[in-house]
Amino acid sequence: MSKKSNPDELKIGLVSISDRASSGVYEDQGIPALQAWFSAALSSAWTMETRLIPDEQAAIEKALIELVDVEHCDLVITTGGTGPARRDVTPEATIAVGTKEMPGFGEQMRQISLHFVPTAILSRQVTVIRETEGHAALIMNLPGQPKSIKETLEGLKDADGKQLVGGIFAAVPYCIDLMGGPYVETNEAVCKAWRPKHAIRPPAEK
């Protein structure tokens, strides 16, 4: 288990779920897309743990539990396995390891995707909190395609950069605050984190 370099370092678990990518049939795109997005979006310290696993519920549950309970990730993101196909069991695995469901995230993910494709209503993405003694983590299911991952996290903007549809990540830093996790800051040009005024820290002195 790797230790945090400071208490406000966000530890993220990235889990790509794909039978073919995990068996080497093709190269995984989910984890690189998430790494690129977080590198651009986060301005505070963060680190990550990654997993590439098949569409097997037991394997997904094991990875999620390990990332929260052993690696002490504050945020765990999955990509893939959220559709109606028989092999898609990511939501079932996520719900099985969660202690609280956070339905607003899944609702907003589908609202964002509906601006692009009518088949967004087929998505079954869920979000939960997993709580253990002295630790809690947010576990979120995202789509598998890099373009959809970006749209879901940061939302939809017009040509001038004005936010048309809010992305889900704007609410994540404050959610992590409420869970007792690290204080996460973002690059506002990519995604502006929203907090009530009383929860905003003053800028750190340099």
**126-158 pLDDT per residue, tens:** 999 999 999 999 999 999 899 999 999 999 888
Taking only the tens place, the pLDDT of each residue in 166-196 is 899 999 999 999 999 999 999 999 999 999 9
Task: List Cα–Cα distances, 88 to 15, 60, 84, 143, in angstroms.
Answer: 14, 11, 6, 12
Q: Which is nearest to 90 in space by CA: 143, 164, 130, 31?
A: 143
Higher pLDDT, 54 or 204: 54
Task: List Cα–Cα distances, 83 to 13, 32, 91, 120, 171, in angstroms.
Answer: 21, 21, 9, 9, 24
Q: What are phi and psi of 171, to 5 degrees?
A: -95, -10
- Please tell me the predicted confidence (pLDDT) of residue 22: 76
Indicate whether this model's pTM tops 0.85: yes
Q: Which two tokens stand for residue 141?
A: 């299911």
Q: Which two tokens stand for residue 74?
A: 């504050």
Cβ-contact 179, 102 below 8 angstroms: no
Q: State whether CATH 3.40.980.10 applies to domain 10-197.
A: yes
Residue 133 three-state SS: coil
Higher pLDDT, 101 or 157: 101
Q: Using a pLDDT cut of 90, give the percent of the chain over it.
A: 80
Q: What's the rounded mean pLDDT across residues 26-51?
A: 95
| E runs forming strands in the chain | 10-17, 46-53, 75-79, 100-101, 127-132, 135-142, 155-157, 163-166
Cβ-contact 88, 124 below 8 angstroms: yes
- Kindly tell me if the per-residue pLDDT of 106 is higher than 80: yes
Q: Which two tokens stand for residue 50?
A: 């990654």
Domain boundaries, the chain: 10-197
Higher pLDDT, 82 or 165: 82
